[in-house]
Each structure stands twice: as structure tokens, then as C-alpha cells.
Amino acid sequence: MTRRVRLVGDGVENPANARALMDAAAMFGAACAFRDTRGLLAAWDAERGGELDLIDTNSLIDQQWPIVAVENTLGASIVFGATLPGTQASIVVGGERLGIRADLLRAAARTVSIPMFGRGVNTLNVAAAAAVALYYLMAGRGLAPRLARRPEERRPALLLSRPKDHVEAGSAIRSAAAFGWRTVGLDDSSRVWYGVNRGVTAEGRAAARSHRNLIRVLPMTTGSKLAFRRIVVAGARIDGPPIHRVNLAGRDTLLVIPDEGEAGMPSFNSLGGSVERARIDLSVPTLHYRYRLVATIVMAEAARQTGLRPAGQPRLPGRRGLTYESTLSTVATGGAEEVDPAVLKAY
């Protein structure tokens, strides 16, 4: 079935986020427009960002294009099992500070939420959230979330491999914190995170922060041999089965998300264990993708497979004896960094 979708940013203020939303839409062959209620056009630079497509309220509230609002509100359906209300729809995401305005929430045919597991970061970057919503809604697979009594014990370890942009790296770390990871490995071979100048450091950390939920970033190299039984390498250009058919869960699993922009990626065989590959199916396979968008989709699918607690079930107490957040912390070398995500929320 052919689906026509337009992605709409409501009240987006930051031109960089607007440009990233346009890139998210392009990944899925969707149109992208903005309802400008926060001065986006006045701040827009057409030479750097391209043409800005604006849409007014009357055109947006159109019964021929039912609205699917992406917002963590009471009564929203979980995006993992959601589908579009018809063959065409407007998927609406809200601005950085205030989200989707009330008039569009009232007009929405459907509201979906992306479950958050972090204790301090409870939202994704707006473009990353849009990419997740587009992936699950447009695929129409109806992949329901799994239920688990102790989902934190099924979460794989995570390695972000060679991101080439500090903002993309920081935003991916923010996504990791939002989906519940407390530790993330980072192969910084491209030198975008450690040992960079003060301005780059400030921008990168701003993409990854929250004052209540520290996330520990461990320097690693993709050539390290690690103590994992399984290595799963996931991305948009990976030669492997669709990601929803590959098991991503398990404490004995290392989930590796490479930046696929470079020519020729490492084999990852040196990491140890059996290496499996998983592919995100996108509509425009030749496009150069933003790292944060692909990485967040991979993390969302890992979170879906790891599972949600049944409704009303409190967090269970930890088991007796030693437990480990991630094998990464026992094998990584060098100085780890605890990132205080309030700065990450800016991404």
C-alpha cells in the first residue's frame, strides 16, 4: 500500500532543528513543512538551509490529511504498535520548548508517544523523535512493544562507533540517556568528543545532558576485544536482515551503531564474539543520513525489544549480589566522562 506522509514541525524555533527535520523527512521520502508560530522564518537562512515550506493552520487541519500528533500525553498510543489512520497523513512534532500546541492536539486523529526510560532525560531531540515516528508509522508493521518484568536486565550494551560530527554524537548520547542507558561506549576516532576545542566541547555536551540522570561515556576503540558473546552492528547501509528480525536484547550483547558516512567501515570482528548485522529499511537508501537519526531509530528498536514494564507495575528492587550496568565499564580503558544531560536537552 502506498502511503503519502508529510512531516510538520509545529512551533519549531531553532533553524538547525528545522533543517534536521527536513533531513528526517527525506529519509522516508516524505514532504516537510512548518507551522511557524515562534519566529522560525525570521531566523531562517535560505542559503544554508534551503527553501522553508510553511503551512497555515487551516491547511494543516484538513480531513484529507488526518493528523498524527507525536507527543507524550495522557492517553497516547505507544508508537511501536501504532499505524497511520489512512493512506495519507500529517505526522506532527512539536517545538523544542512547548511541544505541539493545543489546537492541533485537539484536531489530531491519533496521538502517539515514544516511551522514555531515562530518569532525567524524558524527551528526544525533535528531529530524532520525528525519525522514530516516521520509521514505525510509515512501515505499518504494527510492531507491538514487549512486556518485561525487569527490562533493564535485558538492555544490551551500546557502542557509538566513529561519529563524525560533535552535535550528532551529543544528540545520539542524549537519545541513549532517554532510552535508559546509563553507560555508553564511544569510539572517538574522528576526534569530535575528546580533546577538542572549548567551543566544540560545549556544543557536543549541550546535545547530551540532563541534571538528574548522569550518563557515563566511556572512550573505546572499535578494535578492542570485548567480553560479549554477541556483537550486533546496526545501521541504514548494513548488509543484513531487517532490524526488527534481529534479536537486539540481552546483557551479553553489544549493540554497535557506526557512522556510515565514511567509505569502508571496519569489520567489527575484532570486538569478539559472534558478529551479526541488522539493517534499517529506509525509503531513500542512497541518501547521506544524519547520525543521530539512524542511531535513535536503532536505539528505539532495541528499547522495543528489551520491553516495557506492564502498566501499573512498579520498578522491582534490584537482585541480591553483584549486578553490572554494562560489561563496557569493566573492559574500557582511559578516562570515562560522566555527562550531566541538562546540556543535552538543548539538542
> Which string of b and e fits 125-135 if b means at least 16 CB within 10 Å?
bbbbbbbbbbb
4-113 and 151-346: identical CATH topology = yes
CATH of 4-113, one of 3.40.1280.10, 1.10.3210.10, 3.40.640.10, 3.40.1080.10: 3.40.1280.10
Is the CATH number 3.40.50.620 carried by domain 151-346? Answer: no
Domain positions in the chain are 4-113, 151-346
Paired with 68 in beta bridges are 91, 110
Q: How do residues 9-43 score in pLDDT, each as one tens digit?
A: 999 999 999 999 999 999 999 999 999 999 999 99
Grid coordinates given for 305: 525489544
In this prediction, residue 225 has a pLDDT band, given cuts at 50, 70 and 90, of: confident
In this prediction, residue 253 has a pLDDT band, given cuts at 50, 70 and 90, of: very high
Mean pLDDT, residues 178-203 taken together: 83
